[in-house]
Amino acid sequence: MKNTKARNASGYMFLTPWLLGFFLLAIGPILVSLYLSFTRYDMVGDPRWTGFDNYIYMFTRDRRFWKTLEVTFHYVLFAVPLRLIMALSVAMLLDKGLRTIGLYRAIFYLPSLLGASIAIAILWRQLFSIDGVVNQVLAVVGIQGVGWITNPSTSIYTLIILAIWQFGAPMLIFLAGLRGIPRDLYEAADIDGTSRFRKFYAITLPMLAPVVFFNLVLQIIEAFKIFSPAFIISNGTGGPADSLLVYTVYLFNEAFKFFRMGYASALAWVLLLIIGLFTALAFATSKYWVHYENERD
């Protein structure tokens, strides 16, 4: 039909920039990266096909790969839940009983907005240094601090604390979600003399479950991709003793320091699969704990 043709023509005209980007910058590179992951490629010669060698090496002989997995999972498992708990607690505190929350909301959100910047990573490096602010505060209460960043067993926690400090964005989403819970549910519970905890478990959490789920998926993806703070705080090395070697820093160094592009591509694909797996896991379990309001039981 001529009509359909004309409609398609104008539709695709508007879609052209995105389509170009989609093929040249997203789907194309993903496929090329899959191909490169089966090769040896140092950017000087052509890629040389090596089959599964990169993956076999990664899983069986590369100790640093396991180390980077350990560091990254450690980070994700602490940073995501703690950030979400912080965000929800503060959102609930702001949601009820206060007339003006604008200024608090702004103050709590500001770190999220600045957090990705190099300036903040530089600041963090100093706050947790041996003679930094954190140790001075500890000294006031009589605790002898350590060099939080130079000590391999504590350095990852400086990153986790940085992540918690930036709870502002999920807090805003929780606030919007809390606003959407009908007030009469709480009033009815009040008349029945329901306790605060019960109100939280029986009303707030179930009503908020879709928002919690949304935040959870978003934060997991976000956390696996952490790069700049780890890179800056460890001065690009991932050290001390690889304790800040989060996945993306390892990948970056393999690709752009040692030019092992094939191996780095394999690392990238494994990252993609890990993130996909976690997202799928969240979706798969969601039917047990997330119920949408318009859904029939």
Partner 1 sequence: MNATEAALAEKELDEAARVAHEYRLAKNKRERRARLFKHIFLIFFSFIMLYPLLWLLASSLKPENEIFGSLGLWPSTFNWSNYSEGWEALPVSFTIFYRNSTIVTVLCVLGNLFSCSFAAYAFARLEFTGKRLFFGLMMMTLMIPYHVVLIPQYVMFLKLGWVDTYLPLIVPRFLASDGFFIFLMVQFFRQIPRELDEAAQIDGCSSFKIYWAVILPLSLPALATSAIFSMIWVWEDFLAPLIYLNDIQNYTVPLALRLFIAQEGESAFGQMFAMSVLSLVPVVIFFVAFQKLIVRGIATSGMK
Binding to partner 1, residues 151-180 (CB under 8 A): 165, 169, 172-173, 175-176
Closest CA to 210 of 167, 164, 173: 173
Contact between 200 and partner 1 per CB under 8 A: no
Beta-carbon neighbour count of residue 289 at 10 Å? 11
Residue 203 in tokens: 């009303």
153: Cβ contacts below 8 Å, ≥ 6 apart: 243
Stretch touching partner 1 by CB under 8 A, among 48-56, 62-70, 264-272, 284-292 = 264-272
Contact between 222 and partner 1 per CB under 8 A: yes
Contact between 225 and partner 1 per CB under 8 A: yes
Contact between 59 and partner 1 per CB under 8 A: no
Residue placing its CB nearer to partner 1 in the complex, 78 or 263:
263
Contact between 240 and partner 1 per CB under 8 A: no
Report in angstroms how near the CB of residue 172 gets to partner 1 at its nearest. Answer: 5
Report in angstroms how near the CB of residue 296 gets to partner 1 at its nearest. Answer: 25
| Amino acid at position 242, single letter | D
Contact between 280 and partner 1 per CB under 8 A: no
Q: Is the peptide bond before 47 cis (omega within 30 degrees of 0)?
A: no
Residue placing its CB nearer to partner 1 in the complex, 228 or 296:
228
Contact between 49 and partner 1 per CB under 8 A: no
Residues found in the chain:
297
Closest CA to 178 of 201, 200, 196, 204: 204
Helix 205-224 vs helix 63-95: angle between axes, to the nearest 10 degrees?
A: 150
Stretch touching partner 1 by CB under 8 A, among 77-85, 188-196, 257-265, 283-291 = 257-265
Residue placing its CB nearer to partner 1 in the complex, 89 or 297:
89
Contact between 272 and partner 1 per CB under 8 A: yes
For partner 1, the binding residues in 67-96 under the rule CB under 8 A are 90, 93-94
- Residue 48, exposed/middle/buried by CB under 10 A (0-12, 13-18, 19+)? exposed
DSSP summary character for residue 287: H
